[in-house]
Structure 1
Amino acid sequence: MTAALLVCALAWLALGAAGAILSRRDAGRMVVYGGSLAVSLVALAIALGALGGRAPGVTLPLGLPGIGMRFAVDPLSAAFLVLVDLGGAAASLYALGYGRHEAEPWRVLPFYPVFLAAMNLVVIAADAYGFLLFWELMSLASWALVMADHKRAETRLAGFVYLLMASAGTLMLLLAFGLLAGPRGAYAFAAIIASHRPQWTADVAMLLALLGAGSKAGLMPLHVWLPRAHPAAPSHVSALMSGVMTKVVVYAFIRIAFDLAGPAAWWWGLVVLAAGAVSAVLGVLQALLEDDVKTVLAYSTIENIGLIFAGLGLALAFRADGLALAASLALTAALFHAFNHMLFKSTLFFGAGAIQHGAGTRRLSELGGLIHRMRVSAVPMLVAAMAIAALPPLNGFASEWLLLQAVLLSPSLPQFGLKLAVPAAGALLALAAAFASACLVRLYGMAYLGRPRSAAAATAHEADGISRAAMIGLASLCVIFGLMPALVLGHLAPVVRELAGVSLPARPGWSGLTLLPVPARQSSYDPLLIALFIAVTSGLAALGLHRFGSRALRRAVPWGAAFSPRATRRCRRARNIRPRGSASRSAACSRHCCSAPATRW
């Protein structure tokens, strides 16, 4: 299986070379994105077959003399390969439609498959040399994609800051691997695990890994590049960077802190938990203040990366104190949320690309009413927004529920500092979840609901069919894995068992999906029951309003939101300019609304 994945990586690199040759022809888009979709699906099938086991390693006579380059697949790398290749397949499918609108495709097509190959090679690398080599290739390929629209000054600044932070992060990882390898230079992962070293080297290596991974993932205050670079890239690349590349960074931290560094000290969990909780709150607070759709989503990525690292910090703390079941719960929550974030954040960035192309702007203050113009793509955007806001019974709620269940097990920790810090971090995570709901309600409401606030929004058009298919596919997975989280948790069990010593227990209920992260007398979660309850209560409420509340309705002029009363009167007059149902009447209505000065209410 390892050799087959290396063949897939070579196929991606060949597609990059073909993209460089054919990028100025329309066939280049089909070759690069269609080929990337096919290779991603093959790699996904291989990764799914490798889940739960270890594939034989492969050593190639490459790299430095006497060291070689080793590749291997274990349960951890197989789980992240599934995430990477599923996200890569979705982005490639989306790009088949969205790529038609690229102004300069020759700046994107050669580097896109190289980016996919580098992320796969980082995950299957089994020595420090190969890991760092492909890590740098991943950084350089993504930098080239960020710089696709290089004529804009903000894009050039984003590329400069990204390159600077990526280089600093690689230096931190290089120092971490140097400490773990020791004076004998045991750079193979198996040799690092088998070697004996002083505890202080493992402590420093963990801190360096946190700095290196944090700068690449966007942990605060190392996040400065992320809200600049993600909006600057094309939307399918933004989806890969936010939904997939940040998870490769999570893999790197897990590989070092949970696998290579050896037994963890209890304070490791405290440091990682604090960094994650603070990043979650500050990231979503900044997202609430932004007006650009992709910038909002970029800051939301910081929040979700904070949630993932908070779960990893809890797992480190529990594992250091010998609480294997609690560690497995926290680690499962972090891994599950990493997978879920790839699904709904990729969908949201796809939707942002559809908005940008359909309306010609990404500014929330200039959008509105897109649900009438983009009826199909508005549905997966709504599903992804509800999932990232952790609303049941979608997948975002399931993973955050597991994380909060792990927080509730903190009284079993013996250290007084952890007994104080974990509940405080839990309060911050709950606050971040509340702010995330407000942020996504604001984003979806301002973009899709209400009336158009610009002529561009009033004349927006729907995305192409291929792009909509990619959005609908990922949004459907958000629903499926929300209703049936055991489908994912069962495949994560070998990873958790290897890193925490025991996997998360689960017992089938009447629906076959009741999860038991803690004993059943304390807590259980059945998503199908919750979905049934929501459906029944919503249906009864709608029926009651329709049967008993319709006669009590009071008809009045619709609220104009930020429009002044004068604009509302103009809008009402504009409705009478053309016959009912006329498209020109809607244009006149929006023109009157947009020309009227806004007033504060």
Structure 2
Amino acid sequence: MVALFALPALVGVVVVLGLLAVAAPLLPQRGIPPATAGLSLLALLLALALVAAGGQSQLLAGSLAIDPLGAVFLLPPAVAGLAVAGGLLGRAAPAALPGFVAASLLVVLAGDARFAVLGVALFATASSDWVVRPAALAGIFLLAAAFATLSLGGGQSFAAMRAVPPDGWRATLVLALTLLGVAPLVGWAPWHRPFLALDATGLPLPVLSPAIGLYLCVRVLADLCGPATPGWWGLPLLLLGAGSAGAGLIAALRAPTFGGILAGLSVQHGGWMLSGLGVAAIARGADLLPLATLALGGTLLHALNYTAFASLASLSTGAAAIGAGSQTLDRLGGLAGRMPVVAIGMLVAGLSLAFLPGSAGFASGWMLLQALFAAPRAGGLALQLVVAAVVAAMALSAGFAAIAVIRLGGVAFLGRPRSPRAAAAEDASLAQRAGIIGMAVLCGLLGLFPGVALRLCGMAQHWVTSAGLDGQGDWTGIRTQIDSPGYGPLGIVIMVGIVLAVIAMLSRTGRLPAAQPVPIWEDGFTAPPPWMPFGDPATQLTPATLTATLPTRPLRLPSMPRVRLEVTWPSVTLRHAPVVVLILAVLLLLLVAGFGPV
């Protein structure tokens, strides 16, 4: 019953956001954030109602539909839109922001090939600030070809595709087209370099791209292709995920700006999600439903958690860049004293980005690693070797992610200012601080009660694997099996709190030496002379200091003779966005409509 009313309301939200994006050039730029935030909040409430109630519904003869899997993936666009738009209250926002949120929601609400391709096309153009990239354009057409191949079974609606799943060469072609189409759209390796250049658009692209890419892969490969997919399908997903985790981390270690670091970390976390989906595919092919449910549950949980703490990181770094006048690390430093709330928000987000215990990122990352450790049971020696290599790559990426986070937070928020503008940085606005506090509280709750968030994914797990949670999540934590100890962050936090309370009591009674005030992380500074208030810049850590000894460039094999084709791409700039996007959508719909009946 809830789905019958929620789906039309969500479609209305998408339509209003689209109209707001079209009319954005005619509206005051400061009026876009409150309107986008209000509509995103409404979409979030409707998505939560759908997740809690479950059920299915459709409109326009199935062209727009909702099911338990789609209900879960409605949460990331709503949360990201609310957080980013809420943090921009009182300030000018990118004109493409409402269109970007609308396109993300439309991708999830699509119930047939035509609306799915339309949503992907709008997502790609809006994410590039209405500039079509050649790689994104190729990805759109490859995805359209994947849906066209699926529709050969008898129809363009997802229900018809699900009733007649592909087999043989058609199934393999769908796998290849889907991965090659999604990767350049969301920045998976080795197509991540153009994606990293989009960090200056001001849109929540690094926040949403992993979730949207994961949804497209789960919808096509795990849902529409049916339950009888072969286990080897998981191998390209594992390898692509491990490659993305490594490539994204290298990009984050080398990036000189806030946006570049967050974009690199988004590629890394997207690789983790893709690896979890690969384990689920391997386990389902071997008929190991408990392992498939564990891997898929960890993947869905990481998609939800990442959206929350990446939104918090985007809010914190955005406020720091506005207050300090720059997002380049070389010109920042000492922002914690000027922006304490922003620094605390970045600390909470950094714990999750670095997979540290007690954070939201650790809970879902722990589930994904447990699934990877159990994956060798599904195959022979060859699979075991591949999984061992993937586990090593993922573990290294998690360890070095802490360096990337320390590089971001330590250089920008600790130490001393590297420029007079950073020394006089303005504190964040009231709206930004309220948004940061709200997202920090949400991330803290997700870290303390991961089982509750996992239970939100229960119906989506059952939709894909036909198996339930089987006791994997409860109020106290998460576990791989009913009789296993699992991971309970609340107990760990309580124990740490007791220890800190005892230390505080001993300090008050004088049994411990009194604390001596010292400057935080002096970065190698000696006492500055009176005529040099910022100290000697030559003695301070730079953004390259932490990564100077790391091999941040991939190994190169000896060059081989090859034929080089010079192809010049036309530069297409869509400044009249609505007209050209509609033309592109019509062409794509005609392409899909040519395969199979409606």
Q: Give the direction of change, closer, same or farther, for the CA distance of 1:392–1:559 in structure 2 (3 Å limit).
A: closer
Per-residue deviation, 1:282: 2.7
Q: Deviations over 1:126-176 (max 9, x none)?
A: 11111101211121122226xxxxxxxxxxxxx56xx11211111211121
Counterpart contact for 1:315–1:330, Cα < 8 Å? yes
Change (3 A) 1:414 1:228: same
Q: Distance in 1 between matches of 2:520 and 2:453?
A: 45
Question: Which of 161, 164, 167 is 1:195 aligned to?
Answer: 164
User: Is the CA contact (8 Å cut-off) linking 1:453 and 1:593 kept in structure 2?
Assistant: no
Q: Secondary structure at the match of 1:409?
A: helix
1:513 aligns with 2:457: no
Change (3 A) 1:315 1:448: same
Counterpart of 2:259 (choices 278, 291, 294) is: 294
2:352 alignment partner, one of 358, 381, 387: 387
- Letter matched to residue 113 of structure 1: P
Query: Who is 2:493 aligned against?
Result: 531
How far apart are the structure 1 equivalents of 2:304 and 2:282? 22
Q: How big is the shift at 1:18?
A: 3.9
Choose which of 421, 424, 436 in structure 1 pairs with 2:401: 436
- Distance change (3 Å), C-alpha of 1:593 and 1:84: same
The equivalent position to 1:173 in structure 2, one of 143, 146, 162, is 143
Match of 1:58 in 2: 59
2:518 and 2:181 map into 1 onto residues whose CA distance is: 58
8 Å CA contact 1:343–1:474 kept in 2: the answer is yes
| Alignment deviations for residues 316-349 of structure 1 (CA, whole Å, 9 cap, x no partner) | 1001100001001000111111111111111112
CA distance in structure 2 between the partners assigned to 1:29 and 1:128 by the alignment: 36
- Is 1:35 the counterpart of 2:28 in the alignment? no
Cα distance change of structure 1 residues 596 and 573 upon mapping to structure 2, 3 Å threshold: farther
Q: Which one of the candidate residues 71, 75, 79 is aligned to 1:78?
A: 71
Q: SS at the partner of 1:392? A: coil
Counterparts of 1:288 and 1:165 in 2: how far apart (Å)? 24
Q: What SS class does the counterpart of residue 128 from structure 2 fall into? A: helix
Q: Counterpart of 2:88 in 1: which secondary structure?
A: helix
Which region of structure 1 is more displaced relative to structure 2, 127-136 or 449-458?
449-458
- In the alignment, the residues of structure 1 paired with residue 434 and residue 541 of structure 2 have an alpha-carbon distance, to the nearest angstrom, of 38
Aligned residue in 1 for 2:223: 259
Is 1:5 matched with 2:10? yes
Are 2:103 and 1:118 aligned?
yes
Q: In structure 2, what is the Cα distance between the partners aligned to 1:539 and 1:281?
A: 40
Whether 1:21 and 2:26 are equivalent positions in the alignment is yes
The Cα shift of 1:70 comes to: 0.6
Paired residue secondary structure (1:589): coil
Q: 1:192, CA displacement in angstroms?
A: 0.9
TM-score, with structure 1 as normaliser: 0.84
The 8 Å contact of residues 392 and 530 in structure 1, kept in 2 or not, is answered as no
Deviation of 1:561 after TM superposition, in Å, equals: 2.6
Within-5 A mapping of 1:93-242: 93-97=86-90, 100=91, 102=92, 108-109=94-95, 111-144=96-129, 163-182=133-152, 186-195=155-164, 197-230=166-199, 232-234=200-202, 237=203, 240-242=204-206
Letter in 2 for 1:78: A
Q: Per-residue deviation at 1:417? A: 2.1
More helix by share: 1
Moved more, 298-307 or 544-553: 544-553
**Gap regions ≥5 residues in structure 1:** 61-68, 146-158, 575-587
**Structure 1 residue 121: Cα displacement:** 1.2
Of the three residues 323, 342, 354, the one matched with 2:288 is 323
Between the aligned partners of 2:398 and 2:165, the Cα distance in structure 1 is 42
Aligned length: 536
- Tell me how far apart the structure 2 counterparts of residues 562 and 212 of structure 1 sit (CA, whole Å): 48
Q: Give distance in 2, aligned partners of 1:18 and 1:325.
A: 49
**1:272-316 deviation line (CA, Å, top 9, x unaligned):** 011101211232133122221211111111110011101010111
Q: CA deviation at 1:379?
A: 0.8
Contact preservation (8 Å) 2:415, 2:520: no
Q: Which amino acid aligns with 1:491?
A: L
Give the drift of 1:545: 7.9
Q: CA RMSD in A?
A: 2.6
Contact map agreement 2:414 2:521 (CA 8 A) in 1: no
**Residues 1:459 and 1:410: Cα distance change in structure 2 (over 3 Å):** same
Supply the distance in 2 between the matched residues of 1:462 and 1:342 (Cα, whole angstroms).
Answer: 25
The answer to whether the 8 Å contact 2:257/2:329 transfers is yes
2:522, 2:469 → 1: CA distance? 51
Separation (CA, whole Å) in 2 of partners of 1:398 and 1:598:
32
How far is the alpha carbon of 1:56 from its aligned partner? 2.2
Q: CA deviation at 1:551?
A: 7.2
The one-letter code sitting in structure 2 at the alignment partner of 1:77 is G
Corresponding residue for 2:211? 247
Q: List 4+ stretches of structure 1 deviating above 6 A.
A: 542-546, 555-559, 595-601
Question: What is the TM-score when the length of structure 2 is the normalising length?
Answer: 0.84
Distance 1:119 1:560 in 2: 44
Equivalent-residue separation in structure 2 for 1:112 and 1:508 (angstroms):
35
Letter in 2 for 1:243: V
- 1:371-399 C-alpha deviation (Å, 9 max, x unpaired): 11111211111111111111221111100
Offset of 1:474 from its aligned partner?
1.2
Matched, 1:421 2:382: no
- Measure, in 1, the Cα distance between the counterparts of 2:20 and 2:158: 30
- Structure 1 distance, partners of 2:367, 2:250, is 23
Residue number among 473, 479, 485 corresponding to 2:444 in the alignment: 479
Q: Does 1:46 align with 2:46?
A: yes
Task: Report the alpha carbon displacement of residue 219 of structure 1 after superposing the two structures with TM.
Answer: 1.3
Distance 1:385 1:367 in 2: 18
The structure whose RCO (Cα within 8 Å, separation 6+) is larger is 2
How far the C-alpha of 1:533 sits from its partner, in A, is 2.1
Q: Is the 8 A contact 1:206 1:261 kept in 2?
A: no
Q: Is the 8 A contact 2:171 2:225 kept in 1?
A: yes
Residue 494, structure 1, aligned to residue 498, structure 2: no
SS, match of residue 57 in structure 2: strand
Distance 1:337 1:166 in 2: 25
Letter aligned with residue 412 of structure 1: R
Preserved CA contact (<8 Å) 1:170 1:212? yes
- Structure 1 residue 19 displacement after superposition: 2.4
Answer whether contact 2:461 2:467 (CA < 8 A) is retained.
yes
* Contact 1:286–1:299 (Cα < 8 Å) also in 2: yes
Q: Measure how far apart 1:227 and its partner are.
A: 1.2
Residues 1:38 and 1:557: Cα distance change in structure 2 (over 3 Å)? closer
Q: Secondary structure at the residue paired with 1:144?
A: coil
CA distance in 2: counterparts of 1:344 and 1:225, whole angstroms: 24
Report the identity percentage: 32
Counterpart of 1:589?
533
CA distance in structure 2 between the aligned counterparts of 1:597 and 1:507, rounded to whole angstroms: 48
Please state how far the C-alpha of 1:266 moved relative to its aligned partner. 1.3
Compared with structure 1, are the counterparts of its residues 541 and 406 closer, same or farther at alpha carbon in structure 2 (3 Å cutoff)? Answer: farther
Aligned to 2:65, what secondary structure does the other structure show? strand
